[in-house]
Amino acid sequence: MMIYFEDVQVGSRHTSPSVQVTEAEILAFACAYDPQPMHVDRKAAERGPFKGIIASGWHTAALVMRLVADARPFGDTEVLGLGVEQLQWPTPVRPGDTIHSESEVVAARPSKSNPAYGIVKLSITTRNQKGEVVMIHSPSCWVPRRPPVSQ
């Protein structure tokens, strides 16, 4: 079901499914996109401040995108990001962690530049299996306005 801007309600909440992150996936992502020792080198990571491998923050962000896409907060309407106002990684994601996200619609306004769209701002908190917050972010998304009914 397509959801249009007019259907989005400020205050509505979604809880995503959860996903477990493996060490192999953390290493593969980091080798491709963030090949720093704390993400790819077990021995160096053990000597570092986190005492073991941690996921790249951008890997955490990618995993959260997958959780949000699977939660389908706008039904069949795609989640198209315009930007993110604030992004924090208070606790790192480690091999074996299971994370899930909770999102809330915090604002919705018509686009000034494109009358066919509205801009919906979400606040998303992602936690690990211990309830520790691993990521907070507030993305703003383009959501199409309902097309006028043909007469």
Site residues, its own copies (CB under 8 A) = 29, 32-38, 56-59, 61-63, 65-66, 69, 78-89
Alpha helices in 9-91 (DSSP H): 23-33, 37-40, 42-47, 57-71
Residue 150 Cβ vs its own copies, minimum distance, rounded to whole Å? 19
Q: Answer yes or no: are the C-beta atoms of 74 and 9 closer than 8 Å.
A: no
Beta bridge partners of 143: 118
Cα–Cα distance between 112 and 21 in angstroms, integer? 40
- Give the residue with the Cβ less far from its own copies, 66 or 146: 66
**Shortest approach of its own copies to residue 114 CB, angstroms?**
9
**What secondary structure letter does DSSP report for 145?**
P
Task: Provide, rounded to whole angstroms, the least separation between the CB of residue 108 and its own copies.
Answer: 19
- Residue 56 CA to residue 40 CA, distance in Å, equals 9
Q: Which is nearer to its own copies, 20 or 88 (CB)?
A: 88
Which residue, 6 or 78, is less far from its own copies as judged by CB?
78
Distance CA 38, CA 42 (A): 8
The smaller minimum CB distance to its own copies, of residues 102 and 140, is found at 140
111 vs 151, beta carbon nearer its own copies? 111
C-alpha to C-alpha distances, 71 to 1, 60, 137, nearest whole angstrom: 13, 16, 16
CB of 69 to its own copies, least distance (A): 6
CB of 58 to its own copies, least distance (A): 5
